[in-house]
A and B are shown apart, each in its own frame.
Chain A
Amino acid sequence: MSSTLPDSPLTTYVLNTGDGVPGARMALSLHRLDSLLVIWNLVTVGTTDEDGRCPGLITTKAFTPGMYKMRFETGQYWESLGHNSFYPYVEIVFTITNANERFHLPLLLSRFSYSTYRGS
């Protein structure tokens, strides 16, 4: 199924740096800000695969310039591994001005820290 999904201009990658494994089977969602109503519209809901990735996040057509939010259900993830965590969830809000570029939004995560960066 994933091999037939068109290339998404926006990709993510979750790494469990605490255990040194991909952040597999983590629920996540992508939202776009409706600038007129100033509310978040849900664009995609998904779960990372065994490799910590989530192909097919958004289509090139739907990927318009604007403010987006990626929400990772990190609390649920740690709970499913039998741990607690400092962060119940992680939301990363970012601005897309040039939607012709590719954007890679990884999340490197442990129970007590996380980091993200803009890749391509």
Chain B
Amino acid sequence: FFVLQYYKPKLLTCDIQMAAPYSPLTTHVLNTGMGVPGAHMALSLHRMDPSTSLWNLLTTGTTNDDGRFPGLITRENFTPEVYKMRFETGQYWESLGETSFYPYVEIVFTITDHSQKFHVPLLCSFFSYTTHRGS
């Protein structure tokens, strides 16, 4: 019984990742300094609550081997609001034995038409980063 209870939350997480539910919001982290995907970088998605002006945490996790993060948010949850994607770049560079100028990167963006697809990539090196709105 205890063994099952221990595995239950892990199984649920696996189910979500394997099913890779469609997400209208995607990201892709690229390590342009080394020419590789930004794999295993911790990131989190937040949404601003307009009544309190506080950030609500929606999703947290790490990018996969390809620098991507399937299942960021469901279509139902993807309401038109201000969102923030936070990338733990400092931790990422440290794990590669490097230092970086940026301890983390936060990209804040506004969704008005939530029927569209939005791609928020991060191309980063130790001393630079760039993002753009893709689809």
Q: How many residues of B contact A (CB 8 A)?
A: 21
Closest to A118 in B: B127
Where chain B touches its partner, the secondary structure class is strand
Q: How many residues of A contact B (CB 8 A)?
A: 21
Q: Assess the B133–A112 pair: CB atoms within 8 A.
A: yes
Q: Assess the B108–A113 pair: CB atoms within 8 A.
A: no
Q: In the bound complex, what is the Cα–Cα distance between A113 and B133 (angstroms)?
A: 6
A93 interface neighbour in B82, B104, B128, Cβ under 8 Å: B104
Q: Assess the B82–A94 pair: CB atoms within 8 A.
A: no
User: Cβ of B105: which chain A residues have Cβ within 8 Å of it?
Assistant: 93
User: Cβ of A58: which chain B residues have Cβ within 8 Å of it?
Assistant: none
Q: Assess the B132–A113 pair: CB atoms within 8 A.
A: yes
- List chain A positions with a Cβ less than 8 A from chain B: 67, 75, 84-95, 112-118
- List chain B positions with a Cβ less than 8 A from chain A: 82, 90, 100-110, 112, 127-133
